[in-house]
Structure 1
Amino acid sequence: MRRFAGKSIVVTGAGSGIGRAAAMLFAAEGGQVVVADVTDQAEETAQTIVAAGGVAAAIRMDAGDEGDVARTIALAVDRFGGLDVMFANAGISGGMANIFDTDVALFAEVLRVNLIGPWLAVKHAAPLIAARGGGAIVLTASVAGMRSGAGSPAYSASKAGVINLATTAAQQLSGSGVRVNALCPGLTETGMTRPTFDYARDAGKLDRLGRLNPLRRGAQPEELARVALFLASDEASYVNGQALAADGGLSSSHPVTRQDYGKTAV
């Protein structure tokens, strides 16, 4: 029996990467999926799902815009009769500038998409999921939100906020039947990180990516998508308010090259 048969599901950032892989897996497991992305690639993902015999509807949305989030969730209700699962996955990197070279506008934009976006997802999705008798919300955070050394200051701060949002939301939804968890990926080949992977391939240095984790490799989107599906499924029925790292073991120590104040890391 397919795990998400008849379930109504929203996936944001579903035009590529982890979101696209998750949307396709949800559909393959019987889910009716609203595929949302800030780009036109949402339509491509939806078409791929339908061509494979699945059920999907596409919508273009800005994850940090409340009106867009509300319209996306309303589409799930209109098309599929309600909402059972919300996978708030959309995010941006914001580059790799340090604290002193990051301007206020960039920091604010990273927080708007990466943190305000998941908060809006919880705010608008949770009541509808509760009305269906319960379900799951999965927020994409990052190992960068757990400790330093895995992302820029803006990105890391935003993802630390997502982890805390998951724990806070789980508590405030006590008794509703709505579980909220954060997925914390390590280095994964997505649209956001593809330039890094492509550069490494072209330079013959692909084996160096992910070398600090015990598995000594980066992840593919499907590997993270499967973890998201677990957190959204009844198999994780007693998992709530948690931050689950899927990072090849990186966060077991978070080894990094230290950068002294005023100097460049080598």
Structure 2
Amino acid sequence: MQVRFAGKTIIVTGAGSGIGRATARAFAAEGGQVVAADLSDAVEETVAGLDNAIALRIDAGDEGDIQRLVAAACDHFGGLDVFHANAGISGGADGIFDSSVELWTEVLRVNLIGPFLAIKHAAPRIVERGGGAILCTASVAGLRSGAGGPAYSASKAGVINLVQTAAQQLATSNVRVNAICPGLIETGMTQRAFDYAREVGKQDKLGQLNPLRRAGVPEEIASVALFLASDEASYVNGQAWAVDGGLSSSHPVTRQMFGKTAF
């Protein structure tokens, strides 16, 4: 078994379920000292049974909470090596003309300002350790239209550009910044769709638009996250990696037009 993160301290936000939980546990399994963070009490379940992990309840889009999170990791484990800014919300599927400014503001606060705060406050501490990695969970919805609601898609496109910009601004620091772009993954965010498909006997339709003809699981995203955070990816920087079964090679969609739907 690989132990790529022995002696390394890793923060994972959105670690109460789904991709965050799978990633936090995977880091711990490979020797990492993990700080699992989430707004939900479920984050305690993520670290249950792990000797090298602690849980904190925080709001990933609040600057004070992110500062507290980074300080706690450094105080408890002696420093910081990796930050996975994974927390996010969907914002629903309403179109541009049906959604509110309030919804857009909240989606951008959590999904885009959250990763900005992670980079802002984690990077200086990672530099103190001689370098490391920052990962941001984006989405294939941020690569082009057709894979999510407008607010969500715009926020994830922002994450991809943020990662590219941060990689440039952290030049010579030995801190790499990359984004992971999941496709359809069974998580708390998508659970209703999965449950409904199973209820009506259409579970075989889940993920049918990608060449693998299936949905993914959180552990498949976690595997990529661990690679990008490890020394094995030492020359990967400022990139957005799609992990989507090939969906983003085409993004086939039904186009919604103003006032009507085109088929």
Correspondence list, 1:1-266, <5 A: 1-48=2-49, 50=50, 54-264=51-261
Q: Secondary structure at the match of 2:34?
A: strand
Q: Deviations over 1:202-258 (max 9, x none)?
A: 111011111110001110000011111111011100000000000000000111112
| Residues paired across the two proteins, number | 262
* Structure 1 counterpart of 2:100, one-letter code: D
The alpha-carbon deviation at position 93 of structure 1 amounts to 0.0
Q: Secondary structure at the match of 2:256?
A: coil
The alpha-carbon deviation at position 42 of structure 1 amounts to 1.0
Contact 2:255 2:261 in 1 (8 A): no
Q: Deviations over 1:43-92 (max 9, x none)?
A: 111114x2xxx410110010000011111111110110000000000000
Distance 2:97 2:206 in 1: 26
The alpha-carbon deviation at position 97 of structure 1 amounts to 0.2
Distance 1:71 1:77 in 2: 10
Distance 2:197 2:164 in 1: 36
The alpha-carbon deviation at position 265 of structure 1 amounts to 6.1
Q: Which runs of 5+ in 1 are unaligned?
A: none
Distance 2:223 2:39 in 1: 23
Contact 2:13 2:37 in 1 (8 A): yes
* Structure 2 counterpart of 1:31, one-letter code: G
Structure 1 residue ranges (4+ consecutive) displaced by more than 6 angstroms after TM superposition: none
Q: Deviations over 1:86-143 (max 9, x none)?
A: 0000000000000000000000000000000000000000000011000000000000
Q: Secondary structure at the match of 2:257?
A: coil
* Structure 1 counterpart of 2:11, one-letter code: V
* Structure 2 counterpart of 1:182, one-letter code: A
Q: Secondary structure at the match of 2:97?
A: helix
Q: Which runs of 5+ in 2 are unaligned?
A: none
- Superposition RMSD on alpha carbons, in Å? 0.9
Q: Secondary structure at the match of 2:119?
A: helix
TM-score by length of structure 1 reads 0.97
- Percent sequence identity is 73
TM-score by length of structure 2 reads 0.98
The alpha-carbon deviation at position 264 of structure 1 amounts to 3.9
